[in-house]
Amino acid sequence: MADPLLTLSGVHTHIGPYHILQGVDLVVPRGGVSVLLGRNGAGKSTTLRTIMGLLKPSRGEIRFDGRLIGGTPTPAISRAGIAYVPENMGVFSDLTVGENMQLAATQGAFDATRLSWIKALFPPIATFWEKPAGTLSGGQKQMLAVARAIIEPRRLILIDEPSKGLAPAIVTAMTRALGELKETDTTILLVEQNFAMASALGDTVSVMDDGRVVHAGDMAELSGDAGMQERLMGLSLEVHQ
Amino acid sequence: MSETAIRPKLVAASAGDRLRKAAPLLLAPVMALAGLIAIADPATWLTLTVAGLAMGLMIFIMASGLTVVFGLMDVINFGHGAFVSVGAFVGFTVLAWLAGWTENPAVIMNLAAVFLAILASMAVTGVLGLAFERVIVAPVYGHHLKQILVTMGGLIVAQQLIHVVWGPDAIHVARPQSLRGSVIVFDAVIEKYRLFAVAIGLVLFLGMRHVLRSTKVGLLVRAGVENGEMVEALGYRIRRLFLVVFMVGSALAGLGGVMWGLYNETITAHMGSDLMVLVFIVVIIGGLGSIEGCFIGALLVGLLSNYMTFLAPKVALVSTIALMVGVLMWRPEGLYPVVKAK
Amino acid sequence: MIDRLLSGDRPNSRPLALVLIVIALALAFAPFLFPGTKSLDTAARICIFIVLVASYDLLLGYTGIVSFAHTMFFGIGAYGVALSLSALGASFTAILVGVLGGTAVAGALALAIGLFSLRVKAIFFAMVTLAVASAFAVLVSQLSTITGGEDGLTYRIPRVLTPAFKLLDMRILDVRIDGRLLAYYLVFVSALVLFLGLLRIVNSPFGRTLKAVRDNAFRAEAIGYRVIWYRTAATVLSACVAALAGALLAIWIRYTGPATTLSMEIMIDILLMVVIGGMGTMYGAMIGATLFILAQTYLQSLMGAAEHATGMLPLIPDLVAPERWLMWLGVLFIVSVYFFPDGVVGRLRSRG
């Protein structure tokens, strides 16, 4: 794990009077999918929002590709090459699918090959290009949110619970799409509660509880070790069992 | 099996849904029709309707900036009226300098004078908006109570500064030659200036619509109104966008001030804060943050005010309040509530 | 005893306590300390505005909502008494009818506005109250057959409260003990009772809930408080007290018109008094109202002197002219909101 892409060391974040992150240490190696597991309220989404600069860390260091980014404004972090798919998907429902994609393409014009690859990955993007994004179904919105994040090559993509609230069939499709994305050498930090999806995609895994990372290791190790799963699952996945 | 899951399908908007969205569009024609029935005399009705449209469009110009500023940054500017007043006074000053042009019978000279006055007042109020945002609004982001208080303070100071520069008295503004008097259309007496105001208002509305729908800045504004965080996460600096919108909104208020000054032919330092009452009613009717709602609300208020001034002059302003109450009973967040993703 | 009167809400600062005691004593003995019609009138206005501003503080400082309709309620109280005295003649019954009627109307209107506009967004309330209050003011000046329009109403009050009435045929400390003195003490005692009543309200469980709602409406709702109910109740209470203050003004100046009760200028004065005195403190109302009215009455002549002194300079005389005092207040207001949101009271407390 030499020269990781993203490291958080001892990061604390407060939201109003609440102390949510209490010293998060997290390492995201270059390439592959890092999964962040943990039960509701463990601080996973807050971790992503802190990395993205939407919340200011009160203490600790965040390094992206060696550069300190803690406390940098969100647009600068985005332009440094981090894309973000929030839990609520952040789709602009008043804009059409095409306009949503257009705003995500910060360079101005679309890369035609990339766009057709995305349209193949997520067919509804092509079909509903002219429709307001607000009229899409939940799964389609999720696809649009991910498509927006990858319309231009990014170095790191933060995805917050892409399986949340989706039908099993759509989760399978989403897993396949993310799997294909993984082949393109993009690094993904994935927050997920669905263990099937997490273990299918993940290379490394960190488990959070009470605002800290309580376990970090290989996904394969966790998938293969029932006892460890039991111990950590108790923390993280009881809701889904 | 996953193939079926992602096969494109769109939830068709139900007829009821579509009606819900379109219903507010019908309000202005319905109001006009109701006016026709109540007034009974078509010529009088036409005069009043043009007056109402002119008034509504001028209010829309003033209100549009306020509502977008709120939608984008959740900032409510109670000092917005100051830009209206300042705009009117700057416009008056320019028109007074150009007295030779305005007293000239040539239409083109008159229009040139008015446009120069508008440009000057938009420039001044735009810059003033920049200063206002930096000095007064910026330190109180995310705090409604302080925003209301501080912008109110800004309004007081601005009004007093108008007194310092232009004196405390109301000033008479003369319309340029070719905008004086009226024309007769279908037996109805229609002031030329009102037609001019309607034309300017419509051009501005269409222009604004074009910018919001078809330019990147417009898309960003609309996206920012819904979810500012996500706009930032895509790499855009929303603060800078907001500053631009604030300046444009202030400049539009200044433009509205010039137009209103020429309409009323009298300007005072507190005309802006007086107009804010109507502006707020319009913004509330439309739904805070919604430009289409603001447009419809402005037309409704303009028409209703003029009809009521004819039918029952004493309760004209009260009737607009009643209209607001009625709309809010029907839709508690206004005609077009802005969807906030939070 | 004093602690009970203050509902346990002590000034908690020696300088603050000192200032408050000076104000209270000065008002209590104003007729004897500052003889003369103008100073007695100033003292009575201070009493009335302390109540008016304190009732506004209940809304702004304790509940965290901005209303622009406070002068409307103030005016309703004043017009209640004015109309009733004009119609029923100068009697205490007429005053009672006017006070009760005005307060009831103010309370009912506040209830309607509160239920109507507080349920959506607190920010609606500020805009809706501004619109309603302006419309009300216009309506009052239009309905001149009832309200006297812009000219307002002049009426007689019970003779016991006029200078013509002699209570004692002697002078105390060279002050005549007449009906005017009685009227002053009617104003003073009413104001005192109302102020202590407000102090009691904000220190009651109800008042503490208001603060909880102000600080975190979402959380208060989650714990089970009906936020809208508390906000509306505070609105109604503050409106009723404002109406009572209006009634006092109507009795004291024997005239009621739009300029003295309904104008936006008075609304802005109230805002300035609350913010400069200190929001959410109640005592801020005492200090804010006293400072403001003293300044309004006496400082402007000082500015006139400054205008003369700087007469040779460009622009400066314009800026220090007495008419410009509102501008400097505006600046002071903005600066206070930024840097001293606790106002004078907060400053004094941080020292004591």
The contacts of residue C104 (CB under 8 Å, 6+ apart) are none
Q: What is the model's pLDDT at position B3?
A: 41
Picking from A152, A174, A198, the residue at the C-terminal end of a domain is: A152
Q: Phi and psi at residue C89, in whole multiples of 5°?
A: 85, 170
Q: Which two tokens stand for residue B297?
A: 């609300």
Q: Which two tokens stand for residue C113?
A: 């506005």
**How far out from the chain centre does Cα C182 lie?**
21
Cβ contact, residue pair B10, A104, below 8 Å: no
Count of pairs with CB atoms under 8 A, one residue in B, one in C? 110
User: What is the C-alpha separation between A136 and C305, in angstroms, rounded?
Assistant: 71
The contacts of residue B164 (CB under 8 Å, 6+ apart) are C315, C318, C319, C324, C327
Judge whether A1 lies within some domain: no
Identify the residue whose tokens are 């409604």.
B144
**How far out from the chain centre does Cα C24 lie?**
16
Cβ contact, residue pair B5, A134, below 8 Å: no
Q: What is the model's pLDDT at position B15?
A: 60
Q: Which two tokens stand for residue A142?
A: 């999720």
Judge whether B284 lies within some domain: no
**How far out from the chain centre does Cα B19 lie?**
26
β partners of residue A6: A28, A64
* CATH code assigned at C261: 1.10.3470
C327 touches chain B (CB under 8 A): yes
Of the candidates B136, B283, B314, the beta carbon closest to that of C143 is on B314
Q: Which residues of C touch B313 (CB under 8 A)?
A: 142
Sign of CA dihedral A124, A125, A126, A132: positive
Are A93 and A147 part of one and the same domain? yes
| Sequential DSSP letters for B136-157 | IIGGGTT-HHHHHHHHHHHHHH
Burial group, residue C185, by CB count within 10 angstroms (0-12, 13-18, 19+): middle
Cβ contact, residue pair B5, A139, below 8 Å: yes
First to last CA, chain C: 23
Task: For residue B338, give Cα distances in angstroms to A27, A92, B141, C282.
Answer: 40, 12, 20, 38
The answer to whether residues B262 and B193 touch, using CB atoms and an 8 Å cutoff, is yes
Smallest CA–CA distance, residue A230 to chain B, in Å, is 30
User: What is the C-alpha separation between C352 and C349, in angstroms, rounded?
Assistant: 5
Domain count, chain A: 2
Show which residues on chain B lie within 8 Å of chain C, measured between beta carbons.
Answer: 76, 78, 136, 139-140, 144-146, 148-150, 152-157, 160-161, 163-164, 168, 273-274, 276-277, 280-281, 283-284, 288, 313-315, 317-318, 320-321, 324-325, 328, 332-333
Cβ contact, residue pair C126, B78, below 8 Å: yes
Task: For residue B26, give Cα distances in angstroms to A219, B20, B67.
Answer: 59, 11, 22
User: What is the C-alpha separation between A228 and A231, in angstroms, rounded?
Assistant: 5
Smallest CA–CA distance, residue A232 to chain B, in Å, is 30
Q: Which pLDDT tens digit goes with each residue over A204-239?
A: 988 888 888 888 888 888 877 777 777 776 654 444
Q: Which domain holds residue C57?
A: 2-351
Cβ contact, residue pair B234, A124, below 8 Å: no
Judge whether B165 lies within some domain: yes
Smallest CA–CA distance, residue B1 to chain A, in Å, is 7
Length, in residues, of chain A:
241
- Mean pLDDT within A75-96: 90
Q: Which residues of C touch B150 (CB under 8 A)?
A: 334, 337-338
Cβ contact, residue pair B321, C135, below 8 Å: yes
Smallest CA–CA distance, residue C28 to chain B, in Å, is 33
User: What is the C-alpha separation between A188 and A173, in angstroms, rounded?
Assistant: 17
Report strand pairing: A82-85 vs A156-160: parallel
Cβ contact, residue pair B8, A128, below 8 Å: yes
Judge whether B17 lies within some domain: no
Domain count, chain C: 1
Judge whether B305 lies within some domain: no
Are A32 and A121 part of one and the same domain? no
Q: Which pLDDT tens digit goes with each residue over A13-25?
A: 988 778 888 888 9
User: What is the C-alpha separation between B263 and B92, in angstroms, rounded?
Assistant: 12
Identify the residue whose tokens are 């002031």.
B191
Cβ contact, residue pair A127, B2, below 8 Å: no
Count of pairs with CB atoms under 8 A, one residue in A, one in B? 99
8-state DSSP, B134: I
Of the candidates B2, B10, B222, the beta carbon closest to that of A131 is on B10
B9 touches chain A (CB under 8 A): yes
β partners of residue A26: A8
User: What is the C-alpha separation between B258 and A193, in angstroms, rounded?
Assistant: 59
Please, which pLDDT band fits residue A1 given cuts at 50, 70 and 90? very low
Q: What is the model's pLDDT at position C141?
A: 87
B226 touches chain A (CB under 8 A): yes
Q: Which domain holds residue A120?
A: 89-152
Picking from A152, A177, A199, the residue at the C-terminal end of a domain is: A152
B236 touches chain A (CB under 8 A): yes
Per-position b or e across C15-50, b if 16+ CB within 10 A of its CB: ebeebbeebeeebbebbeeeeeeeebebbbbbbbbb
Of the candidates A73, A88, A106, the beta carbon closest to that of B234 is on A106
Q: What is the model's pLDDT at position A237?
A: 47
**Which is nearest to A103 in space by CA: A151, A141, A137?**
A151
Smallest CA–CA distance, residue B108 to chain C, in Å, is 38
Q: What ipTM did this prediction achieve?
A: 0.88
Cβ contact, residue pair A102, B216, below 8 Å: yes
Rounded (10°) CA dihedral B326, B330, B333, B334: -60
Rounded (10°) CA dihedral C136, C140, C146, C149: 180
Q: Which residues of B touch C134 (CB under 8 A)?
A: 274, 277, 317
Best of B134, B277, B304, B318 to disrupt the C interface by mutation (most C CBs within 10 Å)?
B277
Domain count, chain B: 1
Smallest CA–CA distance, residue B227 to chain A, in Å, is 7
Cβ atoms < 10 Å from Cβ of A56: 12
Cβ contact, residue pair B317, C275, below 8 Å: no
C135 touches chain B (CB under 8 A): yes
Cβ contact, residue pair B325, C116, below 8 Å: yes
Of the candidates B2, B225, B235, the beta carbon closest to that of A173 is on B2
Q: Phi and psi at residue B64, in whole multiples of 5°?
A: -60, -45
Smallest CA–CA distance, residue B21 to chain A, in Å, is 13
User: What is the C-alpha separation between B166 and C89, in angstroms, rounded?
Assistant: 47
Chains in contact with A, where contact means 3 or more Cβ–Cβ distances below 8 Å, are B
Q: Which domain holds residue B194?
A: 42-269
Q: Which pLDDT tens digit goes with each residue over B22-65?
A: 778 888 888 888 888 888 888 889 999 999 999 999 999 999 98
Cβ contact, residue pair A103, B219, below 8 Å: yes
Cβ contact, residue pair B160, C275, below 8 Å: no
Cβ atoms < 10 Å from Cβ of A147: 22
Our CA angle for B185, B191, B195, nearest 5°, is 80
Beta strands in chain C (DSSP E): 153-154, 166-172, 175-178, 255-256
Locate the chain C residue with the closest alpha carbon to B324.
Answer: C128
Are A228 and A109 part of one and the same domain? no
Locate the chain B residue with the closest alpha carbon to C119.
Answer: B332
The contacts of residue B107 (CB under 8 Å, 6+ apart) are B178
Q: Which residues of B touch A128 (CB under 8 A)?
A: 8, 10
**Which is nearest to B297 in space by CA: B307, B276, B282, B280?**
B282
Are A64 and A163 part of one and the same domain? yes
| Sequential DSSP letters for C282-337 | SHHHHHHHHHHHHIIIIIHHHHHHHHHHTTTSSSHHHHHSGGGHHHHHHHHHHHHH
Smallest CA–CA distance, residue B33 to chain A, in Å, is 32
Task: For residue C22, give Cα distances in angstroms to C30, C175, C186.
Answer: 11, 21, 20
Are A129 and A42 part of one and the same domain? no
Picking from A152, A179, A197, the residue at the C-terminal end of a domain is: A152
| Stretches in chain B below the pLDDT threshold 50 | 1-11, 342
Judge whether B210 lies within some domain: yes
β partners of residue B168: none
Q: Which pLDDT tens digit goes with each residue over C197-219?
A: 999 999 999 998 888 888 877 78
Smallest CA–CA distance, residue A93 to chain B, in Å, is 8
Judge whether A232 lies within some domain: yes
Cβ contact, residue pair A139, B6, below 8 Å: yes
8-state DSSP, A38: E
Report strand pairing: A187-191 vs A33-38: parallel
Q: What is the model's pLDDT at position A240?
A: 42
Q: Which pLDDT tens digit goes with each residue over A34-84?
A: 999 888 888 888 999 999 999 898 888 898 988 888 878 999 999 888 999
Of the candidates B160, B314, B328, the beta carbon closest to that of C330 is on B160
User: What is the C-alpha separation between A104 and B219, in angstroms, rounded?
Assistant: 11
Are A158 and A198 part of one and the same domain? yes
| Stretches in chain C below the pLDDT threshold 50 | none
Identify the residue whose tokens are 């045929």.
C169
Q: Phi and psi at residue B36, in whole multiples of 5°?
A: -60, -40
C124 touches chain B (CB under 8 A): yes
C298 touches chain B (CB under 8 A): no
Cβ atoms < 10 Å from Cβ of A52: 21
Judge whether B118 lies within some domain: yes
Q: Which residues of B touch C280 (CB under 8 A)?
A: none
The answer to whether residues B75 and B69 touch, using CB atoms and an 8 Å cutoff, is yes
Cβ contact, residue pair C327, B160, below 8 Å: yes
Best of C130, C334, C338, C340 to disrupt the B interface by mutation (most B CBs within 10 Å)?
C334
Of the candidates B284, B318, B332, the beta carbon closest to that of C135 is on B318
Q: How many CA atoms lie within 13 A of C338 on its CB side?
A: 16
Q: Which pLDDT tens digit goes with each residue over A142-201?
A: 889 999 998 888 889 999 988 888 888 888 888 888 888 888 878 999 998 888 888 888
The contacts of residue C276 (CB under 8 Å, 6+ apart) are C284, C288, C291, C292, C332, C333, C336, C343, C344
